[in-house]
Amino acid sequence: MTELILALDVPGREEALRLLDRLPALRWVKLGSVLMTAEGPPLVRELLGRGLRIFLDLKWHDIPNTVSGAVRSARELGVHLVTVHASGGPEMMRSAARAAGESLAVVGVTVLTSTGTQAASVDAEVERLTSSAVESGLSGVVCSPLEIERVRPLVGAGRLIVVPGIRRPGDPLGDQARVAGPAEAVRRGATHLVVGRPIRESADPTATLDEFLAVI
Look at the chain and count its residues. 216
Residues in Cβ contact with 53 at an 8 Å cutoff, skipping those fewer than 6 apart: 27, 28, 29, 80, 81
Instruction: Determine the residue type at 80.
Output: H
What is the Cβ-side half-sphere exposure of residue 31, based on CA atoms within 13 angstroms? 29
59 counts as catalytic = yes
Dihedral pair phi/psi, residue 193, rounded to 5° = -105, 130
Instruction: Determine the residue type at 102.
Output: E
Distances (CA, A) of 191 to 40, 78, 120, 206: 27, 21, 26, 22
Q: How many CB atoms lie within 10 A of CB 46?
A: 15
Whether the CA torsion 179, 185, 188, 191 is positive or negative: it is positive
Catalytic residue among 59, 72, 98, 197: 59
CB 68 within 8 A of CB 99: yes
As separate numbers, helices (DSSP H) first and strands (DSSP E) second, the chain gives: 10, 8
Residues in Cβ contact with 68 at an 8 Å cutoff, skipping those fewer than 6 apart: 95, 96, 98, 99
Q: Residues with catalytic annotation?
A: 59
